[in-house]
Structure 1
Amino acid sequence: MPQKVPSFAELLSSATRSAVHLEMRDTYAVAEEAEELRLWRSGSWTLDDGRKALGEWLDLVAETVARGVVVRRARIVSEPVTDYIRYEHALTPLNLEAGEEVRWLPRRRAAGIWLPHADFWLIDDRVVRFNHFSGDGEAVEPEMSEDPHIAATCFFAFAQVWERGIPHGEYPV
C-alpha cells in the first residue's frame, strides 16, 4: 500500500535536526512559478515580487530554522545554465534570508557521485520524500520512504554534493 505523502508544512514541522534538499533538474514547469518566471524574464521582476510569491514557503523555512533545524539546499546544474536556473539564482537570496543554506554544483563536477533517481528532501537523515516530475517538468505524485538503506544512500549523495558545491554568493550565473 502506498505511503501517504505529507505536505511540505507537515514534513518540515516533523524535522528536529536537519532538512536537506537536492535538486537536479535544469528546468521545472511548476505552475505556481509560471507567472513569476514570465515577470522575471520581462526584466520588471524584483525580490519583493519573489517575496510575495514565496511568502508561505519562506515563512515555513524561517519557522523551521527558528526551531534549530538546519535547512540546506543543493542544486546540480548544467552549464551554461538555463533561464530557469538564472531565475532560481535570482530568487535564492530569499531562501538565504529565511535561513536556508544553498550551494550550487556544476554537473560536470558531479562525476563519481552516486545520485538518486529524483530530486529529494531528506528529513533528520531518516525520511526521504522523492519529488517526481514529468519529462516536461510538471510535478507528479511524490513518493516517501523510511527505508534506512535509501535514507543512508540519499544522505551520502547529498553530503558529497554539498562538499563539492559552491556557496550561493560565490556562484555566478
Structure 2
Amino acid sequence: PGSFLTESLDGRTVPVSETTFSWWNITAAVVTVLVVALALFLVAPRAGDRIVELEIDARDQDAVPAPEIETPADRLDASRVPTLLVGAMLVVYLVMHFVGGGTLTLDIVNWSFLALILLLVRSPHELIGLTQSAASNVGEILLQFPLYAGILGMMTTTGLVAVLSDAFVAISN
C-alpha cells in the first residue's frame, strides 16, 4: 500500500508470494547458486596443481608514489587537509539529509561512497593515483557508458522506446 504502482494496479497489492517468493524466482536463485558453485568447483586448484603467487601485493602501502614537493600547490596536493575537509562536509550534508527526513536514493549512495573515499585517502595526489590505476583496469568499460546514454537518449527522443515497450506489452500476458 502507498507504492508508486498502487494507482496502476487499481489499488490492489501484490504479495511477495507472487514476486520474491514465487516458484520461478526461487528456481532462478537456486539455479544461479548451483551454477556459481559448479563454476567455482571447476576453477579451484586440484591436489598437485602448481600454484604461482603474484609478485605484486595489492596491500602495498606505496602503490601510489609520493609526489615531488616543489611548489605550494604540490604541498596542497600532498596534504590530507583538502580531502578531509571535503569528506567531512559531505558527511555533514548526509547527516542533515537523513535528519531532515531524506530518503536513500542512488545519488545519496554515490555521495556516501565519495565521502568515504575522501575520508580514507591520504591526499588528493593519492586519490588521483588510485583513480588512474582503477581506470586503467576498467577504461574500456567506462567508455561504454556515455555511448549507452547517447543511444538511450536517441531512442527516447525519437519515440522508439515507446514503440518497443508497446510491442512487448502487446505480446505479453
Interval of TM-score (by shorter of Structure 1 and Structure 2): under 0.3
Pick 1 or 2: higher relative contact order, CA cutoff 8 A, min separation 6. 1
Bigger fraction of residues in helix: 2
Bigger fraction of residues in strand: 1
